[in-house]
């Protein structure tokens, strides 16, 4: 009788509380990856200079002005490319995590049946 109650309580947990916990775990992973790569912050600062490197120029010197303009433009391009690379990697990881989360939600209801099937197929191999 205790085994029957244990199995009933397991199924009740597996199909109720565990789904809520699985949802929480999946959303925590997605939140973590989004914040680890700071996607919203990087999008907001996309065209800021790389490492805040800026060249200053002397007033009245046109050669120094154009030299600073080229250096500042290059630093903005390097910053944008670097940030875009990090954003793309973060979005790829978000998509992979989302796909794995969907797979987990699809497989989770089948887990008890998979365990029973594997046990019934594996026990005869012990002999």
Supply the pLDDT for residue 46.
77
Please give the average per-residue pLDDT across 15-21, as a whole number: 92
Domain interval for residue 10: 2-126
Structure confidence at residue 26 (pLDDT): 96
pLDDT value at residue 114? 93
Q: How many domains does the chain have?
A: 1
CB neighbours of residue 49 within 10 Å: 19
Residue 60, pLDDT score: 66
Q: Summarize pLDDT for 54-111 with one digit per residue, the tens.
A: 666 556 666 777 877 787 788 888 888 988 999 999 999 999 999 999 999 999 999 9
Answer whether residue 119 shows pLDDT above 60.
yes
pLDDT at 118 over 80: yes
8 Å CB contact between 83 and 75: no
* Helices vs strands, H then E, count in the chain: 5, 0
Alpha helix segments (H runs only) across 13-46: 18-36, 39-44
| Angle at the Cα of 106 from the Cα atoms of 105 and 109, rounded to 5 degrees | 85
Classify residue 48 as exposed, middle or buried by CB count within 10 Å of its CB (0-12, 13-18, 19+).
middle
Better-scored residue on pLDDT, 65 or 42? 42
């Amino acid at each position: 009788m205790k085994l029957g109650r244990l199995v009933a309580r397991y199924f009740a947990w597996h199909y109720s509380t565990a789904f809520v916990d699985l949802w929480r775990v999946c959303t925590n992973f997605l939140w973590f990856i989004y914040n680890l790569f700071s996607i919203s912050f990087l999008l907001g600062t996309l065209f800021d200079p790389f490492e805040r490197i800026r060249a200053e120029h002397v007033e009245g010197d046109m050669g120094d002005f154009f030299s600073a303009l080229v250096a500042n433009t290059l630093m903005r391009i390097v910053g944008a490319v670097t940030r875009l690379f990090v954003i793309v990697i973060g979005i790829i990881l978000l998509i992979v995590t989302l796909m794995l989360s969907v797979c987990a939600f699809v497989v989770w209801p089948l887990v008890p049946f998979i365990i029973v099937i594997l046990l019934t197929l594996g026990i005869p191999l012990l002999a």
